[in-house]
């Protein structure tokens, strides 16, 4: 488009917490709502959703209430609606065998325990072992509205991502492929800490955001990287160091809270979904009780 046609550009950002709450109130005002519905919690649980997403969320909640033959939309309907909008429909046709279900319970329990005890983690909302989308289980937190993040926050985020893998190793003594997405998330955060956010003491205050523009006549195989081979090795070493340190930290914390991990996993095997306060009580209960004998895989 030639300059002068559309000079004014209007950027509409995604709504923040107060705006999401107002949007949810608007779309809920003509719906019959149970008194237990907490739209403030739902607004906190929906970061990144647009106004259309939130309208769809309320409509999905109403549909869940109709399917239950309920006269009003209840909290569980909003929970199910959010899970469906974010993760996809529940995979009711997927039936895990007892070994897989137990492994999933400990995997998600590892995430949940770390989300509860790590000092810089967002508050835990709930954890479930009901398969949705491509996931066998999900651990949800309630992200706080913030615009800058500390190194400690990202370290806790990586540590929490390692929790599922580490919990399985502690309990069963071996690993499986269920942590692929966790490792991808953790590696991506560590990479950006080193390459973009200056959070590596060895690299220092330098940033490499990605591939440079290839100019006419340059070699496509060599022009894209912004640093030397020796620097690339240092970057890789720092990324690896961060990941290994947080994996070791997750192992230390979960070993200390092993009984709490066992209680959370046992509750998940019975209830399938438990909320953050329940996880907190189980973790605290575990601090006052000895760990059971080692579970055999």
For residue 132, give the CATH number of its domain. Answer: 1.20.58.760
Among 87, 114, 141, identify where a domain stops. Answer: 87
| Domain that residue 241 falls in | 98-287
- Percent share of the chain, pLDDT over 70: 88
Q: Is the pLDDT of residue 206 over 90?
A: no
Nearest of 194, 228, 231 to residue 209 by alpha carbon: 194
Among 66, 87, 108, identify where a domain stops. Answer: 87
112 and 181 in a single domain? The answer is: yes
Does residue 177 form part of some domain?
Answer: yes
The pLDDT tens digits of the residues spanning 96-108 come to: 788 999 999 999 9
Q: What is the mean pLDDT of the chain?
A: 87
Higher local confidence (pLDDT), 46 or 295 = 46
135 and 184 in a single domain? The answer is: yes
The CA distance from 220 to 232, in Å, is 18
125 and 49 in a single domain? The answer is: no
Q: Is the pLDDT of residue 295 over 60?
A: no
The pLDDT tens digits of the residues spanning 59-96 come to: 999 999 999 999 999 999 999 999 888 877 777 667 77
146 and 237 in a single domain? The answer is: yes
Nearest of 110, 131, 101, 96 to residue 269 by alpha carbon: 101
Determine the average pLDDT of the residues in 200-205: 90
Does residue 282 form part of some domain?
Answer: yes
Confidence of residue 294 (pLDDT cuts 50, 70, 90): very low
The CA distance from 104 to 53, in Å, is 29
Q: Is the pLDDT of residue 5 over 70?
A: no
CA-only gyration radius of the chain, Å: 22
128 and 25 in a single domain? The answer is: no
Active-site residues, by number, are 108
Please tell me the predicted confidence (pLDDT) of residue 225. 61
* Residue 140 half-sphere exposure toward CB, CA atoms < 13 A: 25
Residue 274 is given by DSSP the state E
Nearest of 148, 249, 238, 247 to residue 193 by alpha carbon: 238
Total-model pTM:
0.83
57 and 120 in a single domain? The answer is: no
Q: Is the pLDDT of residue 277 over 60?
A: yes
The CA distance from 248 to 250, in Å, is 5
185 and 207 in a single domain? The answer is: yes
158 and 267 in a single domain? The answer is: yes
Q: Is the dihedral angle over the CA atoms 115, 121, 124, 125 positive or is it negative?
A: negative
Q: How many domains does the chain have?
A: 2
143 and 80 in a single domain? The answer is: no
Does residue 162 form part of some domain?
Answer: yes
Pairing between strand 138-141 and 124-128?
antiparallel
Per-residue CA distances from 283 to 132, 204, 262 (Å):
26, 38, 9
The CA distance from 138 to 79, in Å, is 13
Please tell me the predicted confidence (pLDDT) of residue 93. 67
170 and 72 in a single domain? The answer is: no
Please tell me the predicted confidence (pLDDT) of residue 64. 94
129 and 256 in a single domain? The answer is: yes
Does residue 35 form part of some domain?
Answer: yes
Confidence of residue 23 (pLDDT cuts 50, 70, 90): very high
Residues composing the chain: 297
- CATH of residue 28's domain is 1.10.8.60
Cα 247 to the center of its chain, rounded Å: 17
Q: Is the pLDDT of residue 6 over 90?
A: no
The pLDDT tens digits of the residues spanning 209-234 come to: 655 444 445 554 544 566 788 888 99
């Amino acid at each position: 488009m030639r300059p002068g046609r559309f000079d004014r550009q209007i950027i509409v950002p995604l709504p923040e917490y107060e705006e999401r709450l107002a949007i949810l109130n608007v779309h809920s005002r003509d719906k019959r709502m149970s008194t237990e519905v907490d739209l403030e919690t739902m607004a906190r649980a929906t970061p990144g959703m647009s106004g259309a997403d939130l309208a769809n969320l309320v409509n999905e909640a109403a549909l869940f209430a109709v399917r239950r033959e309920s006269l009003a939309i209840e909290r569980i309907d909003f929970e199910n609606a959010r899970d469906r909008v974010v993760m996809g429909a529940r995979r009711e046709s997927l039936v895990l065998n007892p070994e897989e279900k137990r492994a999933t319970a400990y995997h998600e329990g590892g995430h949940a325990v770390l989300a509860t005890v790590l000092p810089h983690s967002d508050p835990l909302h709930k954890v479930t072992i009901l398969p949705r989308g491509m996931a066998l289980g999900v651990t949800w937190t309630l992200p706080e509205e913030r615009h800058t993040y500390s190194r400690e926050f990202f370290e806790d985020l990586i540590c929490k991502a390692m929790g599922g893998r580490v919990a399985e190793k502690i309990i069963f003594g071996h690993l499986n492929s269920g942590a692929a997405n966790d490792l991808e998330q953790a590696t991506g955060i560590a990479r950006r800490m080193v390459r973009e956010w200056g959070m590596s003491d060895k690299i220092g205050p330098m940033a490499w955001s990605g591939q440079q523009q290839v100019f006419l006549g340059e070699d496509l195989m060599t022009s894209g990287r912004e640093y030397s081979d020796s620097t690339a090795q240092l970057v890789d070493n720092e990324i690896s160091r961060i990941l290994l340190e947080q994996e070791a930290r997750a192992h230390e914390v979960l070993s200390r809270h092993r009984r709490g991990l066992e209680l959370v996993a046992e509750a998940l095997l019975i209830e399938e979904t438990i909320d953050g306060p329940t996880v907190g009580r189980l973790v605290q209960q575990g601090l006052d009780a000895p760990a059971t004998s080692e579970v055999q895989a």
